[in-house]
Amino acid sequence: KQRGIIAGVEVARIVFELLDVDVVESIADGSAVSAGQAVMAVEGKAKDILMAERTALNILARMSGIATVTREMLEKARKVNPSIRIAATRKTTPGFRLFEKLAVAIAGGDTHRYCLGDAVLIKNNHIAVAGSVSKAIRLAKSVSFTKKVEVEVRSVDEAIEAAKEGVDIIMFDNMKPDEIVIAIKKLEELGLREKITLEASGGIKPDNVEEYAATGVDVLSSGYIIHSAKPLDMSLYLVT
């Protein structure tokens, strides 16, 4: 019923097949669709189709809504910064994270961390406990060499402090675009920019994504693409 990016076709296929319903035709995940376009065609007993209907539609609608917003923001951001990535966060629906992150990936986005063990991300509460950005980073570096270390910063000074400690990724957390530009310029002047991945996060939405992309960061992470994505309006019609 709406234009958008389709995601969840293969997951919905599993739902139907578990109930002995055959998927005879489908479009590929990641496809752009217009209003009124068919996504799948299935065959089976009416009772089995109806039993699978709501679960399959909920998955398709939710994942497609996320994919649509992700693709929209990615295309906007790359108009001003062709190499930038749009990443998800862990602000996901309990029990449904795998599918929500999959929808982001299908649309061309980056899944970021799936769980806490994927990388070390030092946040403001960790810094408060450790006593400073530098102390928190030194503690974090005691983990295996296989884990990247990322730190959230909220000022230009914190960004420089983190860079001097040799972190892999700096996340500008809830900093305004003009503040991020100043921070990047300072890092460049000190010869600290080249080896660090720079990420901006906090309140990034479709209406300001281009402004953040233009700052020169490498990654924009946004909770919006999952927690604020509206499900795509979809229906199943039975033909007898």
Residue where the block lists tokens 């002047």: 189
Q: Which two tokens stand for residue 172?
A: 């500008």
CA 118 to chain centre: 15
Alpha-carbon distance of 65 to 26, in angstroms, equals: 18
Alpha-carbon distance of 132 to 159, in angstroms, equals: 12
User: What is the DSSP secondary structure assignment for residue 19, as one 8-state letter?
Assistant: T
Instruction: State the catalytic residues.
Output: 91
- What interhelical angle do 156-164 and 133-140 show, nearest 10? 30
On whether the CB atoms of residues 88 and 109 are closer than 8 A, the answer is yes
CA 137 to chain centre: 25
- What interhelical angle do 46-80 and 9-18 show, nearest 10? 170
Count helices and strands in the chain by DSSP H and E runs: 9, 10
CA geometry: angle at 177 spanning 213 and 194, to 5°? 65
